[in-house]
Structure 1
Amino acid sequence: MIDTVTGAQAFAVKVKDLMDLEGRCQPKLTGLRLIETAQDNGLRMTTRLRELEVKDLLYLCRFFGFSSETFSLAVSLLDRFLSVMKIQPKHLSCVGLCCFYIAVKSSEDEKNVPLANDLIRISQNRFTVSDMIRMEKIIMEKLYWKVKAPTALHFLRLFHSRIQEQLDAESREILSIEMLEAQLKACHCSFIFSKIKPSLLALALLCFEAQEEHDPEHMNQISEALKNLQHLLNVRDGDLVCVRALVGKCLAEYANTKCSRPNSQRLRWTISGRTARQLKHSYYKITHLPTIPESAC
């Protein structure tokens, strides 16, 4: 009993520390609302462009075999930057690749970090390494050099681990962390979740997955564990129901055949690194980026 109480207290302290940091690392809602209301005329950042960029980063992450941590951190960096800077669509690919590269250098083993030039070539972007260096400096300055931030993946793994500790052996098979992480990646590709706290998104994902289980014996244990988490996070029932519904809608759209069918553009990375290095030089034609304005939102 003492060990259980001690474990619960340690978990509560860890969650509180993460949530305090979460509040300081959230994307600015004012900046996200500007993106949400922008017209898709090629002159302003829009939700559609942001979602396409995140999907490109997901495919790039899969191509290199990078971890879920790298992808979640890259999305966090991208959303935080887009919420404080007005960027033009023509700069988005450079911004996205730089956020991805920062995440790679922060999360992956040093020996697995590709050269910036190789990263540009594999992604077939048309800017130079010097453009990336310049953009990376702007990103880091605007984010006050704070790379690490609690992501929904951090909370999801923490919450899942805590719930598993409270279940019997049979019930532990119900909530698959692999399935939950795959669902989280789908949610990252939807702009709406940029405005939701990572801790709430993680809890909503767990609740959504748990509601698919109809065995009362197992559900009682899981529901109790989720209720305890909700109480610890001080999440209102209405907020949780709303976000859980958004999760369900997102996953339904992601599973749709038309939505998930790959296209030729996103298959551009399904080549080996060796093949990429042997591509014709014309594929690497470089066009320099214009000066990047540093006006904040």
Structure 2
Amino acid sequence: MIDRVNRAGSLPFAVQLKALLDQEARYQPKLIGLRIIESAQDNGLRMTVKLRDFQVRDLLSLTRFFSFRAETFSLAVNLLDRFLAVMKIQPKHLCCVGLCCFYIAVKTLEEEKNVPLASDLIRISQNRFTVHDMMRMEKIILEKLNWKVKAPTALHFLGFFHSRIQELVEMESKKILNIERLEAQLKACHCSFTFTKIKPSLLALSLLALEIEDHHEVDEGPALKEALDALQESLAVKTGDLVCVKELVAKCLVEYSSTKCQKPNGQRLRWMISGRTARQLKHSYYRIAHLPTIPEYSC
């Protein structure tokens, strides 16, 4: 049976937070496995940080291609990182693993009518494995993850924390934090291996802290900072840890905005679809739109 995150929106904030934090640790990638990936040499024989990041960018492109929710992408990345941390896979199998993690996330979170056929996913990504290969790999992934699929992701915490801060501040302050911009920033962080070893709750808090810090000169800045401090206290996060992760996020976003960087939200889809393939797909599958940039600050 597939495990699911309990959603209890009517419960007090402290109760919901405790439940999420209790589950968070059970859905983290194994640190020892991540360190093995981090230390691997780029010789084509071992899974590496670079290969992982390339695969995540492909999943981001697929997410946009099908107009799936950000939560689907975030869950797919969680599944991929957890699997890579427990299995020593060969680079040649990475595309199949990544696509299967994506497909599991899609079937878990998207409406059934929007779930594409496995054969369509294979055609679009121009991979040479079969539907049978995907079915076997999907079974392996689910078994290795003990069928625990619906993880509390950084996106889940980001939305939860954003709502909490909105509850604690006045109306004018509510306009400062743009959730779409924060979600786009999180997508950029997902594309960097650096954040695989950081708790989702801490990553979400750091994104909010960095955004509030950028607005410290506005009139609503102190109120937002006070709400953030209350949230940090509830999480029992040390200031040093928050500062450290916030600096990593800032560095990631600077690289993201650089013209030298292959931007996760500005990257062209690498999949070329033939006329024959296009005719076999639903119309909505090949209405490709460019990935959006991170929204600017709201006025």
TM class by smaller structure? 0.7 to 0.9
Tell me, what secondary structure is at the counterpart of 1:217? Answer: coil
1:244 to 226, 243, 246: 246
Say whether residues 1:268 and 2:295 are aligned partners.
no
2:118 to 116, 119, 123: 116
Deviations 1:204-228 (A, max 9, x none): 0000111111335311101111101
1:65 to 56, 64, 67: 67
1:29 to 28, 31, 43: 31
Tell me, what secondary structure is at the counterpart of 2:59? Answer: helix
Alignment correspondent of 2:89: 87
Alignment correspondent of 2:175: 173
Structure 1's 9 and 127: CA in aligned 2 closer, same or farther, altered over 3 A?
closer
1:139 to 120, 138, 141: 141
Residue 275 (structure 1) shift: 5.6
Tell me, what secondary structure is at the counterpart of 1:171? Answer: helix
Contact 2:158 2:204 in 1 (8 A): yes
Q: Which runs of 5+ in 2 are unaligned?
A: 1-8, 282-299
Alignment correspondent of 2:192: 190
> 1:69 is aligned with what amino acid?
E
Structure 1's 43 and 233: CA in aligned 2 closer, same or farther, altered over 3 A?
same
**Root-mean-square deviation (CA), in Å?**
2.1
Alignment correspondent of 2:54: 52
Contact 2:24 2:151 in 1 (8 A): yes
Contact 1:121 1:276 in 2 (8 A): no
> 2:69 is aligned with what amino acid?
S
Structure 1's 174 and 274: CA in aligned 2 closer, same or farther, altered over 3 A?
farther
Tell me, what secondary structure is at the counterpart of 1:44? Answer: coil
Contact 2:37 2:49 in 1 (8 A): yes
Tell me the matched-pair count.
271
Query: Percent identity at matched positions?
Result: 71
Deviations 1:90-144 (A, max 9, x none): 0000000000000000010000000000010011111000000000000000000
Structure 1's 49 and 189: CA in aligned 2 closer, same or farther, altered over 3 A?
same
Whole-angstrom distance in 2 between the partners of 1:268 and 1:51: 15
Q: Which residues in structure 2 correspond to 1:88-107 (within 5 Å)?
A: 88-107=90-109
Tell me, what secondary structure is at the counterpart of 1:260? Answer: coil
> 1:259 is aligned with what amino acid?
C
Range with bigger deviation, 208-217 or 64-73: 208-217
Structure 1's 194 and 206: CA in aligned 2 closer, same or farther, altered over 3 A?
same
Alignment correspondent of 1:221: 223
Query: TM-score with structure 2 length normalisation?
Result: 0.86
> 2:155 is aligned with what amino acid?
L
Query: TM-score with structure 1 length normalisation?
Result: 0.87
Q: Which runs of 5+ in 1 are unaligned?
A: 1-6, 280-297
> 1:131 is aligned with what amino acid?
D
Please say which structure displays the higher CA radius of gyration.
Answer: 1
